Structure 1
Amino acid sequence: MADTKPPVARFSAVKSWAGTRTPVIPDDGEGIIRRASLRAFAIEAHCVSVARFADFVAETGYLTEAERIGWSYVFRGLLSRPDSADVVGGYNKAGWWWAVSGASWKYPSGKGEPEAAPDHPVTQISWNDAQAFAEWAGGRLPSEVEWEHAARNGLEDRRYPWGDEEPDDDTILCNIWQGRFPDTNTCADGYYGTAPVDAFAPNEAGLHNTSGNVWEWTADRYRINSLKSAAKARNAQAKRDGDRVMKGGSFLCHSSYCWRYRIAARSGRAPDTAASHTGFRIVYD
């Protein structure tokens, strides 16, 4: 089996932690998550790569949910031949997410499209798939607080892993969208889709790509702490679907469309959902 396990960053136990900041997207439930006592933990320096996930599959014979279902969600811009793609449905009214037959971790844009690059983060992975891998690896998915604590290198308040400087089309600090979403991406950062797991400078703790590249699953259930009726409805739906928190944003994020590559930002999806911009990393007690 190939030695594809990345280094880890270690964090000591802390008595309490709270991410104090002004929420940018309060409807997502941003703000102080909660006060918590964190035990010492170690977190991998980058997301699980395609090569490492291939080791897992080779050893266990595991089939991901996308493989069992037979299709998954693909950003339309990733399709080299969109007219011939085996599209079985759409995901959003805007039309940039397509349900593509055969899309999986090995062929993230479907059969007939290029195989996933070994050194890129594995995608088309559901929360349930990530849980299965974590158990095999002897670790677990991070809690939302652990993920934020590590992305900030233990600091009290920080907008991005590198500080508060805003990345944009000229200041390249992470893998996000550059240009007018969803039709024009200048690829000023060098990538249209995912970048290698160790691309771009890490934070002080050594963690790569906690802003942009791929959304990362966490262990926590998704809930919005708000008394607004819209939040109550979203919470009820999230509870029915079993939604889990995702962090970090992805290569599709842009400040004009999805400003969720900030550390505080969050989203939630059902645990059986997979897509071409979603991966995960592992923590250890």
Structure 2
Amino acid sequence: MTTDAADKPRAMEEEAPPGMRRVPGGAFQMGSDAHYPEERPAHRVVVDGFWMDATTVTNDQFAAFVAATGYATVAERPLDPAQYPGAQPELLVPGALVFHMTDGPVDTRDISRWWRWTPGAQWRHPHGPGSDLTGLGDHPVVHVAFEDAEAYARWAGKELPTEAEWEFAARGGLDGAEFVWGEELAPGGVHLANTWQGPFPWRNFEADGFTGTAPVASYPANGYGLHDMAGNVWQWTTDWFAARHAADPAKPCCAPQNPRGPAMEESFDPRQPQVRIPRRVVKGGSFLCAPSYCRRYRPAARHAQMVDTGMSHIGFRCIRRDPQNVQGKQKP
């Protein structure tokens, strides 16, 4: 990895924003040719330096935002039937998708076996009506749609990262490594992220100590001082999803700087071609990622997420760019 030498002196002169860590600018190998098709092709990218939240946003932090602004999340708002033609009336109520462990082995091609649309599920009630945030104040907030994450970021005077910024930060200086911490999933048998151990989605052996979300910073930070850049909850980025990364430029010297994804009109998930709702990229994997089902607890991994849907394994963290680094700004 090549870092921006000028970034370090400048960062040392700046006062670190509370709860944030400095991510130096530099070049790195983004994506992977060895795993899922959407991670290809691996290619060189350059990003400017920025500050990033050391952890994902917690329930306590999100509650402070809601108390200050009166904000209502997408999962709390009535649905417009005109936007969901043909939908069953019982589904057109405020709610979110909640994970339910199955009683035994199921066809993992059918996600409806473990995801249930749950009326009343939202960030305050993560498992649906009757559940609450008791004991979960330091856990990542979930059931936040993209615009909810953006609203929090604006209130906090921050932004959401691009996919390239997020991946650069997740690697923590280990350019090309398989995982955030190195080359082994559990070096020496030690679990370094909150993921799923066992046959998904019906048995979790809890070898890492958790079945659902874990308190933020339960695992060691990466090389940039950032916790939970793998597992626990997926994290929103501002890039629209495309089925593949853009190809490397013809000239090796011309690596894209502060790249962004495709236009919204070009965004769709090839696994669901009939669903034309635009999707943003989420990164990092979650507590539901298992070697037998979803090996997306790697910095190169990416997933398409519909912008209007909250789920019990998606959260976010924010960044703060240097004022002069306008290249990283994203178009709506």
Give the structure-1-normalised TM-score: 0.84
Structure 2: where are the runs of 5+ without partners? 1-16, 79-93, 103-108, 247-266, 322-332
Q: Which amino acid aligns with 2:21?
A: A
Residues 216, 157 of structure 1: CA spacing in aligned structure 2 closer, same or farther, 3 A cutoff? same
Match 2:118 to one of 68, 89, 100 = 100
Q: Is 2:92 the partner of 1:73?
A: no
The 5-angstrom pairing of residues 124-143 of structure 1 reads 124-143=143-162
Question: Aligned pair 1:262/2:298, yes or no?
Answer: yes
Distance 1:232 1:201 in 2: 35
Once residues 31 and 39 of structure 2 are traced to their aligned partners in structure 1, the CA distance between those partners, rounded to angstroms, is 13
- 1:38 shift after superposition: 1.7
Structure 2 residue aligned with 1:281, among 284, 297, 317? 317
- The verdict on how the C-alpha distance between 1:170 and 1:272 changes in structure 2, with shifts beyond 3 A counting, is same
Provide the C-alpha distance between the structure 1 equivalents of 2:117 and 2:101, rounded to a whole number of angstroms: 13
Which of 200-209 and 43-52 deviates more? 200-209
Choose which of 143, 159, 173 in structure 1 pairs with 2:178: 159
- Are 2:277 and 1:246 equivalent residues in the alignment? no
Q: CA RMSD in A?
A: 2.7
Q: Deviations over 1:168-224 (max 9, x none)?
A: 995312101111111111212111100011111111211111110000000111012
Q: Say if 2:56 is the partner of 1:47.
A: yes
- 2:129 corresponds in structure 1 to 111
| Distance in 2, Cα, partners of 1:125 & 1:232 | 20
Q: Distance in 2 between matches of 1:232 and 1:284?
A: 28
Residue of structure 1 aligned with 2:34, choices 10, 23, 26? 23
Q: In structure 2, how many angstroms separate the alpha carbons of the residues matched to 1:183 and 1:273?
A: 24
Residue 20 and residue 236 in structure 1: after superposition, are their counterparts in 2 closer, same or farther (change >3 A)? closer
Distance across 2 between alignment mates of 1:43 and 1:239: 33
Tell me which residue corresponds to 1:13. 25
SS at match of 1:108: coil
- Counterparts in 2 of 1:155 and 1:173: CA distance versus 1, 3 Å: closer
Three-state SS of the structure 1 residue aligned to 2:148 is helix
Residue 50 of structure 2 is aligned to residue 38 of structure 1: no
Question: Normalising to structure 2: TM-score of the pair?
Answer: 0.73
Which has more radius of gyration?
Answer: 2
What code does the residue aligned with 1:155 have? L
Matching residue within 41, 52, 67 for 1:58 = 67
Q: Distance between the aligned counterparts of 1:62 and 1:122, measured in 2?
A: 14
> Corresponding residue for 2:329?
none
CA–CA separation in structure 1 for the residues paired with 2:31 and 2:245: 16
In structure 2, what residue type is equivalent to 1:74? V
Q: SS at the partner of 1:18?
A: strand
What does the per-residue CA deviation read over 1:9-32, in whole Å, with 9 as the maximum and x for residues that have no partner?
212333x44326433111x33442
The alignment covers a number of residue pairs equal to: 263
3-state SS of 2:183 partner: coil
Counterparts of 1:157 and 1:99, CA distance in 2: 38
What per-residue deviation string (whole Å, max 9, x for no partner) do you get for residues 105-159 of structure 1? 0111111124261000000000110011111111111111111111111332111
> Match of 1:195?
214
Q: After the TM superposition, list the runs of 4 or more consecutive aligned residues in structure 1 that deviate by more than 3 angstroms.
A: 34-37, 91-94, 168-171, 235-240
Cα displacement string for residues 34-68 of structure 1 (whole angstroms, at most 9, x for unaligned residues): 54432221111110000000000000000000011
Q: 1:199 to 1:128 in 2, by over 3 A?
A: same
Q: Which residue of 1 aligns with 2:270?
A: 234
